[in-house]
């Protein structure tokens, strides 16, 4: 998330617990510089908000980071690796059909006219 998205997340959290006094600006200054919060995407941010709702109080930065790690674990565990690239994000053309390895290499011709095998960005990463 961007620092602005983190700010808006904090506004939402404070909105959930309007009776809790909180030094909102100090909280923003701290949270928007946190590498873990900056590294997650908006979708993960939304999942974290569900945990914040269940928390029944405004979480501290260490608490919110624990929540981020919880949802990250959930995401990794529930998505099986892509069968094309084995989760690497790069497709080398290797396919297994009926137990037989079918290797359709991707090739490119380099500047000197030499044919090289290559990998392509896997569909799952697009």
* Binding region for Zn ion (CB under 5 A): 82, 84-85, 122, 124
Instruction: Give min distance, CB of 104 to Zn ion, in A.
Output: 15
Q: Which is nearer to Zn ion, 49 or 124 (CB)?
A: 124
Instruction: Give min distance, CB of 125 to Zn ion, in A.
Output: 6
Q: Which is nearer to Zn ion, 46 or 103 (CB)?
A: 103
> ∠ CA(42), CA(91), CA(100), 5° rounding?
130
Q: Which is nearer to Zn ion, 54 or 126 (CB)?
A: 126
Q: Nearest Cα to 22, choosing from 54, 60, 51, 52?
A: 60
CA atoms of 6 and 17, how far apart (whole Å): 17
Q: Which two tokens stand for residue 54?
A: 């269940």
Instruction: Give min distance, CB of 123 to Zn ion, in A.
Output: 6
For 12, list phi and psi in degrees, rounded to 5.
Answer: -65, -45
């Amino acid at each position: 998330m961007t620092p602005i998205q983190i700010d808006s997340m904090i506004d939402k959290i404070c909105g959930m617990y309007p009776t809790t006094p909180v030094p909102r600006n100090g909280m923003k200054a701290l949270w928007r510089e946190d590498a873990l919060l900056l590294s997650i995407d908006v979708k993960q941010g939304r999942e974290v908000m569900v945990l914040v709702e269940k928390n029944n109080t405004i979480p501290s930065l260490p608490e919110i980071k624990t929540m981020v790690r919880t949802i990250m674990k959930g995401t990794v565990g529930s998505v099986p690796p892509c069968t094309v690239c084995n989760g690497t994000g790069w497709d080398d053309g290797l396919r297994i059909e009926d137990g037989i390895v079918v290797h359709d290499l991707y090739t490119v011709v380099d500047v000197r006219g030499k044919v090289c095998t290559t990998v392509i960005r896997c569909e799952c990463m697009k």
